[in-house]
């Protein structure tokens, strides 16, 4: 019946949903009162944010010395967490842009939340950029702004300047893409709104969406253009983040394999984070018919693929270190495996390389519980990956006289907590006040790829010629 999805494929939306059901299901938690569960979760996020905020205060008031850094290890948890959050922020755009190009229709149920997560994660990463600076109040110097300091300009040779551009571009495009995608749904909510405040607020937010054919056409064009813009960004952001290390002279950092390896790792961790969050969301908001086991399985396959790429990259690094014949390079990698931070290395290896291989087993990749656990394990592993790259390379570089150990302080932990608090506060606000699933896009695939109840089936099969085209379906050419 459909020219888009093979009938042998499992349906993407289950439960025989009608268009009305879709709207109803997704708008329910936006319009209803916050649930107790949401209230508790939100409160916890705020508390974590507050406790973490104390760490932020310590760093801003007293200086970076509140962290465990030293003369040898100048970056540790700060940049580890920065790269980790940026990596997590990769899934959103990947799902929205690359999966769009690959015509992966299953992305419609998850792209909204994934994009939101992207934005919050990039904001967390950004807060680390600001936090790690010795003099945060001068952060704007990193921008090529005209100034009165004389002919002072940024250093375009510095990967950190590239970073500023890469991250800010990524954040801007992601934010615009996400917001444009929200507009039709905001229009729906506005139209359904009963209370005055909601009417005004959603009215303003929906930019006067009128649902006219011309509006849909503009909307679709803008979406396509933005998707086109985002696609290279998915690859560029983490490539440039990897340049922070790859262009240096430090053994263990100075590696040409970093760009693809970092991008794969970012997708790997981003998908894991999307899974973690979506598994909770579908449970809490009762969206199991939209985020199905099929979705979970597809994402697990991507995790398995990217996890394997990352594993190959780890091994390649070792071979090249040996092949280079460079004493320092060899030692850097031997030290990773057997030096004082061996536990970080082996945590990384087991979490990132071994654990995703479990997804070869169908039973595991279709199990919600196993997926949830493994998605967290993957993110732990990816955190360790960044820690291993940053700390174990720095702590024993060229001159043994300067070799040192790094140990995090309480403030290191508090600042990490702060980003979690910030992330979840934002995410819960999003989950409450905005539709977590793209209503318009799900509706667009409802006809072609959902589990239909009998009567619908009869109707549609009886009158195939009269099947209305979905109001919006950018998957259809």
Partner 1 sequence: MEGNNKVYWKGLEELSNDIHFVKNAEREFPEGTPLPGTEAAANADIMPASRRDFLKVMGFGMAAVTLAACEAPVKKAIPYLNKPEEIEASIANYYASTYVDTDGDYNSVLVKTREGRPIKIEPNPLSGVTPAGTSARAQASLLSLYDLERLKGPFNGKEKKATDWKSVDAAIGQQLQQVASSGKAIRIVSSTIISPSTKAAIKEFIAKYPTAQHVTYDANSSAGILNANQTSFGKAVLPFYNFDKAEVIVGIGNADFLGTSPGSTTYSALYAKTRKLGKDKKKMSRHYQFESTLSSTGANADYRTPIKSSQEGLVAANLYNKIAKKLGAAPVSAPALDVKGLDDAANELASAKSAGVVVAGSNDPNVQTIVNAINNLLGSYNTIIDLNAPLTLKAGDDTAMANFAKELSQGQVGAVFFYNANPVYDYPTGKQFGEDLKKASLKVSFSDRMDETTSLCDYVCPDHNFLEAWNDAEPRTGYFSLGQPTINPIFQTRAAQQSLLAWAGNTVEYDKFIQSYWRTNLFSLQSKYSSFKEFWIHVLHDGVFEPKNAPVAAVSFAGDVNAAAAAVGKAGNNGIELVLYQKIGIGNGAMANNPWLQELPDPISRACWDNYLTVSHKMASELGLTQSEEDGNDLVTVEIPGKPAITLPALIQPGQAEGTVGLALGYGREKAGKAANNVGVNAYPFASVSALGVGYVVNGVKVTKAGEKRKIAQVQTHHTIMARPIVQEAKLSEYQKKANAGRFMPKVATSEGKKKATDISLWHGHKYQNHSWGMVIDLNSCTGCGSCVVACTVENNVPVVGRQEVINRREMHWLRIDRYYSSDAPKDDVKALEEASANPEVVFQPMLCQHCNNAPCETVCPVLATTHSSEGLNQMTYNRCFGTRYCANNCPYKVRRFNWFNYTNDERFSDVNYMSQTDLGKMVLNPDVTVRTRGVMEKCSMCVQRIQEGKLNAKKERRRPVDGEIAMACESACSTGAILFGDMNDPESRISKLIAEETEGRMFQVLEEINTRPQVSYLTKIRNKA
Enumerate binding residues for partner 1 (CB under 8 A).
62-65, 68-72, 74-75, 132-136, 138-139, 141-142, 149, 152-155, 157-161, 164, 244, 247-250, 326-328, 331, 334-335, 338, 340, 394, 396-405, 407
Supply angle C-alpha 223, 224, 230, rounded to 5: 85
Are the beta carbons of 382 and 352 closer than 8 angstroms? yes
Distance CA 83, CA 74 (A): 15
Measuring CA to CA, which residue among 122, 84, 115, 82 is closest to residue 98? Answer: 115
CA distances from 369 to 182, 364, 395 (A): 30, 9, 38
| Torsions phi, psi for 408 (to 5 deg) | -70, 150
State the nearest-atom distance from the C-beta of 68 to partner 1, in Å: 8
State the nearest-atom distance from the C-beta of 320 to partner 1, in Å: 15
State the nearest-atom distance from the C-beta of 89 to partner 1, in Å: 21
State the nearest-atom distance from the C-beta of 185 to partner 1, in Å: 39
Based on CB atoms, which residue is closest to partner 1, 245 or 285? 245
Question: Tokens for 168?
Answer: 């800010």
Based on CB atoms, which residue is closest to partner 1, 19 or 141? 141
Question: Tokens for 43?
Answer: 């409160």
End-to-end CA gap in the chain? 17
CA distances from 452 to 203, 282, 460 (A): 33, 20, 10
Are the beta carbons of 435 and 27 closer than 8 angstroms? yes
On the CB side of 134, how many CA atoms lie within 13 Å of its CA? 4
Based on CB atoms, which residue is closest to partner 1, 319 or 405? 405
State the nearest-atom distance from the C-beta of 71 to partner 1, in Å: 6
Whose structure tokens read 């995790």? 303
State the nearest-atom distance from the C-beta of 396 to partner 1, in Å: 8
Based on CB atoms, which residue is closest to partner 1, 69 or 267? 69
In degrees to the nearest 10, what's the CA dihedral of 153, 158, 159, 164? Answer: -10
Based on CB atoms, which residue is closest to partner 1, 136 or 458? 136
Based on CB atoms, which residue is closest to partner 1, 204 or 404? 404
State the nearest-atom distance from the C-beta of 154 to partner 1, in Å: 6
Distance CA 142, CA 127 (A): 15
Based on CB atoms, which residue is closest to partner 1, 163 or 185? 163
Based on CB atoms, which residue is closest to partner 1, 38 or 403? 403
Whose structure tokens read 């700060």? 78
Based on CB atoms, which residue is closest to partner 1, 2 or 248? 248
Based on CB atoms, which residue is closest to partner 1, 397 or 441? 397
Distance CA 409, CA 45 (A): 22
Look at phi and psi of residue 146 and say left if phi exceeds 0, alpha if psi is from -120 to 50, else beta.
beta
Question: Tokens for 355?
Answer: 């654990």
- Local structure of residue 256 (DSSP, 8 states): T
State the nearest-atom distance from the C-beta of 27 to partner 1, in Å: 41
Based on CB atoms, which residue is closest to partner 1, 102 or 137? 137
The burial of 194, by beta-carbon neighbours within 10 Å (0-12 exposed, 13-18 middle, 19 or more buried), is given as: exposed
Residue 457: its H or E element: helix 454-462
Based on CB atoms, which residue is closest to partner 1, 2 or 409? 409
State the nearest-atom distance from the C-beta of 406 to partner 1, in Å: 9
Measuring CA to CA, which residue among 306, 297, 399, 248 is closest to residue 90? Answer: 306
State the nearest-atom distance from the C-beta of 55 to partner 1, in Å: 16
State the nearest-atom distance from the C-beta of 163 to partner 1, in Å: 8
State the nearest-atom distance from the C-beta of 331 to partner 1, in Å: 6
Q: What is the DSSP string of 76-143?
A: SHHHHHHHHHHHHTTHHHIIIIIHHHTT-GGGGGTHHHHHHHHHHHHHHHHHHHHHTSTTGGGGGGGS
Alpha helices for 247-341 (secondary structure H): 258-284, 293-324, 327-338
């Amino acid at each position: 019946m459909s020219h888009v999805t093979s009938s042998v494929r499992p349906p993407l939306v289950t439960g025989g949903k009608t268009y009305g059901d879709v709207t109803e299901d997704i708008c329910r938690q936006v319009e209803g009162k916050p649930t107790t569960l949401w209230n508790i979760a939100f409160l916890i996020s705020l508390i974590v944010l507050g406790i973490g905020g104390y760490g932020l205060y310590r760093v801003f008031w007293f200086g970076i010395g509140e962290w465990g850094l030293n003369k040898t290890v100048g970056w540790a948890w700060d940049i580890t967490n920065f790269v980790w959050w940026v990596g997590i922020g990769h899934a959103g755009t990947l799902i929205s842009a690359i999966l769009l190009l690959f015509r992966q229709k299953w992305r419609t149920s998850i792209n909204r939340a994934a994009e939101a997560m992207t934005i919050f994660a990039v904001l967390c990463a950004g807060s680390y950029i600001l936090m790690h600076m010795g003099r945060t109040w001068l952060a704007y110097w990193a921008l090529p702004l005209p100034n009165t300091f004389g002919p002072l300009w940024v250093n375009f040779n510095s990967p950190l300047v590239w970073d500023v551009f890469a991250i800010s571009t990524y954040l801007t495009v992601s934010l615009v893409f996400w917001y444009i995608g929200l507009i039709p749904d905001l229009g729906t909510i506005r139209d359904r709104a009963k209370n005055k405040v909601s009417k005004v607020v959603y009215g303003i937010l929906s930019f006067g969406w009128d649902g006219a054919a011309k509006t849909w056409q503009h909307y679709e064009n803008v979406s396509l253009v933005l998707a086109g813009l985002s696609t290279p960004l998915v690859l560029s952001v983490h490539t440039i983040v990897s340049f922070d290390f790859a262009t240096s002279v430090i053994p263990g950092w100075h590696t040409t394999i970093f760009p693809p390896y970092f991008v794969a790792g970012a997708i790997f961790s981003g998908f894991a984070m999307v899974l973690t969050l979506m598994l909770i969301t579908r449970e809490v908001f009762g969206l199991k018919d939209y985020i199905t086991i099929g979705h979970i399985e597809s994402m697990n396959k991507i995790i398995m693929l990217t996890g394997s790429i990352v594993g190959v990259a780890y091994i390649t690094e070792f071979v090249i270190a040996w092949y280079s014949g460079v004493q320092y390079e060899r030692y850097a990698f031997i030290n990773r495996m057997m030096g004082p931070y061996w536990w970080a290395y082996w945590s990384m290896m087991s979490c990132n390389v071994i654990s995703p291989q479990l997804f070869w087993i169908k039973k595991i990749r279709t199990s919600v519980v196993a997926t949830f656990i493994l998605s967290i394990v993957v993110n732990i592993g990816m955190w360790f990956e960044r820690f291993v790259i940053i700390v174990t390379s720095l702590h024993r570089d060229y001159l043994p006289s300067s070799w040192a150990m790094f140990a995090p302080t309480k403030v290191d932990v508090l600042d990490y907590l702060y980003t979690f608090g910030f992330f979840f506060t934002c995410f819960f606000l999003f989950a409450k006040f905005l539709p977590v699933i793209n209503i318009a896009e799900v509706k667009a695939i409802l006809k072609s790829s959902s589990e239909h109840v009998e009567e619908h089936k009869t109707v549609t099969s009886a009158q195939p010629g009269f099947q209305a085209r979905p109001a919006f379906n950018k998957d259809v050419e």
